[in-house]
Amino acid sequence: MLSFDFPPWMRRAASELGLWIAIGLVMAVLGPFGTAALSPLERTAYWVGCIVGGGVIGIGIDEAIRRLTDSFWIRVMAVSVLMTPPVTVLVWLMYHGRFGARLTWENLLTPWFEVFVVCFAAMLFRQLVWTRRDIPSPATDEDPLNAFRKRLSARRRQARLIAVEAEDHYLRVHTDNGDELITARFGDALSELANAAGFRTHRSWWVAADAIDSVRWLRGRGEARLKGGLVAPISRSQARQLKTAGWF
């Protein structure tokens, strides 16, 4: 039997698409905001188109927001507010394309609150789904680093892992055999390292526990000095786990 091992980003994209289609189908069944008067086919096409298109907009904005904050509720609210204007335009385009509605300021401004409510509910549900899926499952490999090591070149696959640093759409992996730049999402790396002994010290850093030489905290900011002279920042939101572990 043939089997396909799709990369994580492709599995994530398929899951995202399935999630937004499911939300669109639920909205089509409910028929809110006057859409219950449409035929089932028109209602389904309208809501799935709006929800999937709005989801793409929301994900794009969320990718930028999550680099600025790890707060669950701040992310949901900020993304919902910022995506409301472009999604409102999308809603009008969908309605115009199917029913010939004329573009006026009233057409654009009237539904903004309803659009915001749907955006907030959809992004909240998405955050809850992915937060739940990111909860680490029990380790099945003898070495908890095995899944992540497969991303590295043969030269560094067995090297001692020191830290993982996010750089835009890439990850810089620091080892005792030098560093290496790989294409991967930081969130996917954190999931694969969930059972490894280490700490997320910053929104863009993960460090191995046995690679830390010292930790210091001064004026609301911290840093961890690692093996090989590397220094990783420690944010206030990530400091608690290091304090619990007794580093300061």
Residues 106 and 36 reside in one and the same domain: yes
DSSP string spanning the chain?
Answer: -------HHHHHHHHHHHHHHHHHHHHHHH-TTTGGGS-HHHHHHHHHHHHHHHHHHHHHHHHHHTTT---HHHHHHHHHHHHHHHHHHHHHHHHHHHH-PPP-HHHHHTTHHHHHHHHHHHHHHHHHHHHHHTSPPPP-SSSTTHHHHTTS-TTTTTSPEEEEEEETTEEEEEEBTEEEEEE--HHHHHHHTTTSSEEEEETTEEEEGGGEEEEEEETTEEEEEEGGG-EEEE-GGGHHHHHHTT--
Domain membership of residue 48 (yes or no) is yes
Would you state the pLDDT for residue 107?
62
Question: How many domains, the chain?
Answer: 2
Residue at a domain's end among 99, 133, 167: 133
Residues 44 and 100 reside in one and the same domain: yes
Domain membership of residue 138 (yes or no) is no
Per the structure, the complete domain to which residue 173 belongs is given by 146-244
Would you state the pLDDT for residue 4?
46
- Stated pTM of the model: 0.52
Residues 107 and 27 reside in one and the same domain: yes
Residues 14 and 94 reside in one and the same domain: yes
Would you state the pLDDT for residue 146?
86
What CATH number is associated with residue 171?
2.40.50.1020
Domain membership of residue 166 (yes or no) is yes
- Per-residue pLDDT of the chain (248 residues), as tens digits, is 344 455 666 777 888 899 999 999 999 998 887 788 888 998 898 899 999 999 999 999 998 888 787 788 898 999 999 999 999 888 888 777 665 556 666 666 777 888 999 999 999 988 888 775 554 444 444 678 888 989 999 889 889 999 999 998 899 999 999 999 999 999 999 999 988 899 999 999 999 999 999 998 877 788 999 988 899 999 888 888 888 888 77
